[in-house]
Structure 1
Amino acid sequence: MEFRQELETGLLKQIGNIENELKIKDVASKCRLLKTENGLKVELSYTGPNASKYLQYVEKHREELTNYLLHPDDADLYEWMETSHQTSLTLKKHEKEKLILYVNFDPETMNVLTGIADENVTMKLGAPLMNICIKDMSRKAFKLSIFEMLLLADEIALAMGNEELRKMANIEMVKTYLSEIYDKFHEGPIID
């Protein structure tokens, strides 16, 4: 951990580690895949500020970056895995667990939070699947958010090999329940 003393106040301020701030999407946008005799290779084509940190990130996360660049449609899954500190191996450990999709709505803030939980409704796996405020959203944007959340849940269930969670991600009940929340609590005109 590094600290820097601020000139005006004399206080010590922690200097953040840029590697922790880097996201797979940002790094991948500065990389490309090259075909070599030994297969595919991730090449970093970035030479700007903190290039060495980007290079370290590429070295540490080469496999994830390769998969990300090969399957750009799976971007949400890789970002969720990064945020929740999961890997393919850690997800596999949840294959036999009884997991459910969890929905929490706060009528005061109009925030909808969804995630993966166990039977005791204890949030599992770190990061939420969706965390949105429906106050200023159109019905169409909300429906798209639900669809993207269910796709992400399905991808996570597939990565785990968890059939029960996969069934949960496909059920009509989640979509109906969330739509009812929107219709009941959305104060503005319901724009489709």
Structure 2
Amino acid sequence: MEFKQELETGILKQIGNTETELKIRDVASKCRLLKTENGLKVELSYTGPNASKYLQYVEKHREELTNYLQHPDDADLYEWMEESHQTSLTLKKHEKEKLIIYVNYDPETMVLKTGIADENVTMKLGTPLMKINIKNMTRNEFKLAIFDMLLLADEIAIAMDNPELKKMANIEMVKVYLKEIYDKFHEGTPDF
């Protein structure tokens, strides 16, 4: 979103595209895969408002949409890549880096955030892997969130071909550390 400031009033006015950007999940829900002589084809079956915008998205992201529709379990990876402005090519650039999964927890708000960082705990790749408020979560909801986050980290590590991150996504330490945070703020809960 871009803004310009008017000289006389000092008011900021939005310029350019005023509509929110489309997300892969929204577009994919209006598409289907067709088998043709030349392979698979993404067909948009939407004719409602902003149909041309959907069509432009399909044209620009045909490969991602095809993969998304073929592998619905990878939806989190594609959404994370979209939010962090990553592609399979930009992820490959991090192949040799020593990356870790970092955990940031604010005891006052009870918001827990995880992400990918380098050895200096500088966040990499822009978007968190997980951001949750553990205040009202049950133990099972919390365990499922951790599992989903580790699956996402593993998928990112595979896309990067980064062995260091792959190790981090599979280690028991992450689960134990997050469990300790949960237990500290939910006294008297049974073990994982």
Aligned to 2:89: 89
Whether the aligned pair in 2 keeps the contact of 1:95 and 1:160 (CA below 8 Å) is yes
Question: Shift of residue 79 of structure 1?
Answer: 0.2
Distance 1:124 1:61 in 2: 24
Structure 1 residue ranges (4+ consecutive) displaced by more than 4 angstroms after TM superposition: none
Q: Is the contact made by 1:134 and 1:186 (CA closer than 8 Å) also made in structure 2?
A: no
Sequence identity (%): 83
2:163 is matched with which residue?
Answer: 163
User: What residue in structure 1 maps to residue 37 of structure 2?
Assistant: 37
1:119-134 mapped onto 2 (5 Å cutoff): 119-134=119-134
The Cα of 1:13 is off from its aligned counterpart by 4.9
> Gapped runs of 5+ residues in structure 2?
4-10
What is the root-mean-square deviation in Å for CA atoms of aligned residues? 1.9
What is residue 152 of structure 1 aligned with on the other side?
A: 152
Which residue identity lines up with residue 33 of structure 1 in the other structure?
L
Question: 1:17 Cα deviation (Å)?
Answer: 4.1
Between the two proteins, the alignment pairs up a number of residues equal to: 183
Structure 2 partner of 1:79: 79
Q: Report the equivalent of 2:110.
A: 110
Given the two structures, how large is their TM-score scaled by the length of structure 1? 0.90
Q: Deviations over 1:122-164 (max 9, x none)?
A: 0000100000000010011000000000000000000000011
1:16-55 residue pairs with structure 2 within 5 A? 16-18=17-19, 21-55=21-55
Answer yes or no: is the 8 Å Cα contact 1:31–1:44 preserved in 2: yes
Q: Give the Cα–Cα distance (whole angstroms) in 2 for the partners of residues 47 and 29 of structure 1.
A: 13
How far does residue 2 in structure 1 lie from its aligned partner after superposition?
8.6
Q: Find the aligned partners of 1:62 and 1:114 in 2 and give their Cα distance.
A: 30
Unaligned ranges ≥5, structure 1: 4-10
Using the alignment, how far apart are the partners of 1:147 and 1:12 within structure 2? 43
